[in-house]
Amino acid sequence: MEDASKPRPRWRDRLSTLLLREPEDRAELLALLNAATERGLLDAEALGMIEGVLDVSDLTVGDVMVPRSQMDVLRIDEGIDRFLPFVIDTGHSRFPVIGEDKDDVLGILLAKDLLRYFHAPKTFDLRATLRPVVFVPESKPLNLLFHDFKATRNHMAVVVDEYGGVSGLVTIEDVLEQIVGEIDDEFDYEESDDSIVPIHGHRFRVRASTEIEDFNAFFGTTLSEHDNDTIAGWVMGYCGHLPKRGERFEEFGLRFTVLRADSRRLHTLLVERIREVSPPVEQETEG
């Protein structure tokens, strides 16, 4: 019988004991970890994080970046009165600021730096407020990028291709989510909230588990319920794959943008009305 007076070994100590025999390869290591989980030596959450760490060592920046076409950027020649609604609407904490186009990234604006100008917006100078931009290649290993983020205290980098053109951006959150899963922030709503939440204007935050019947009723669309029950299933069927965060497409007078997704499923979509959907016209039949 186990002596209750003795402290229970930590899971790391128990795992170390299990791994005294050095695994021959990663497959054997994962098999040992799964066996440890089945025996209660390791909980499922810890197993998932360990697997995430192992996966990060195989990934590159290009595997997790937000693609160029989905980058939310500000233009250097815009006044604060023009881009402030966009900053509030998107809810990001950092924005690349560009000149002529997305290949001309001049710096990074931290949303918190706007607070000091609320009392006197006319004194705001966007160029003087910019933080330096960090450029990284698509091929950079993700674990090295994470090390650089920690060492330099940067949280965002602009990704460039082999020709020096901008191909996307990556944040420290993108890296961490490969290890711990999707990270909620203050702009994410709880599961108990409504499935479709108005944000601003004609934009709505939609939970991916929303039933297609409810989605059609709200937006006046005619998405098929034949093959899928939820909007997540419909989106994956439409795209032909599990889309990454930032992917965007238009259909039924709506613009769909993936807000939250991990390697297994969709979590949240941003849906924007770009034109009104007309109801189907009934054909008159001859009597």
pLDDT for position 19: 53
Question: Is 103 in the same domain as 124?
Answer: yes
Question: Is 68 in the same domain as 176?
Answer: yes
Question: Is 67 in the same domain as 175?
Answer: yes
Question: Is 202 in the same domain as 159?
Answer: no
Residue 241's CATH number: 3.30.465.10
User: What is the phi/psi pair of residue 85, to 5°?
Assistant: -60, -35
Residue 106's CATH number: 3.10.580.10
pLDDT for position 158: 94
Question: Is 48 in the same domain as 68?
Answer: no
CA distance 20 to 6: 23
Question: Is 105 in the same domain as 167?
Answer: yes
Question: Is 84 in the same domain as 40?
Answer: no
pLDDT for position 191: 44
Q: What confidence category does residue 196 fall into, taking pLDDT thresholds of 50, 70 and 90? A: confident
- 248-262 average pLDDT score: 84
Q: Decide which of 124, 156, 180 is a domain's last residue.
A: 180
Question: Is 165 in the same domain as 77?
Answer: yes
pLDDT in tens, 5-51: 555 555 556 556 555 556 666 677 777 777 777 776 666 666 666 77
Instruction: Please count the other Cβ atoms lying within 10 Å of the Cβ belonging to residue 251.
Output: 12
Question: Is 153 in the same domain as 128?
Answer: yes
> For residue 29, is it within any domain?
yes
User: What is the phi/psi pair of residue 247, to 5°?
Assistant: -65, 145
Question: Is 67 in the same domain as 174?
Answer: yes
- Is residue 141 within 8 Å of residue 149, measured between CB atoms? no
Q: What confidence category does residue 286 fall into, taking pLDDT thresholds of 50, 70 and 90? A: very low
Q: Decide which of 150, 180, 210 is a domain's last residue.
A: 180
Q: Decide which of 180, 213, 228 is a domain's last residue.
A: 180
Pairing of strands 156-160, 135-137: parallel
Number of domains in the chain: 3
Q: Is the pTM of this model over 0.85?
A: no
For residue 45, give its domain range.
11-58
> For residue 251, is it within any domain?
yes
Q: What confidence category does residue 97 fall into, taking pLDDT thresholds of 50, 70 and 90? A: very high
**Range list of H helices, the chain:** 11-18, 26-38, 44-56, 61-64, 80-90, 126-129, 142-152, 172-180, 212-219, 231-239
Instruction: Give the tokens for residue 87.
Output: 């900053």
CA distance 174 to 76: 26
- Is residue 186 within 8 Å of residue 258, measured between CB atoms? no
Question: Is 19 in the same domain as 35?
Answer: yes
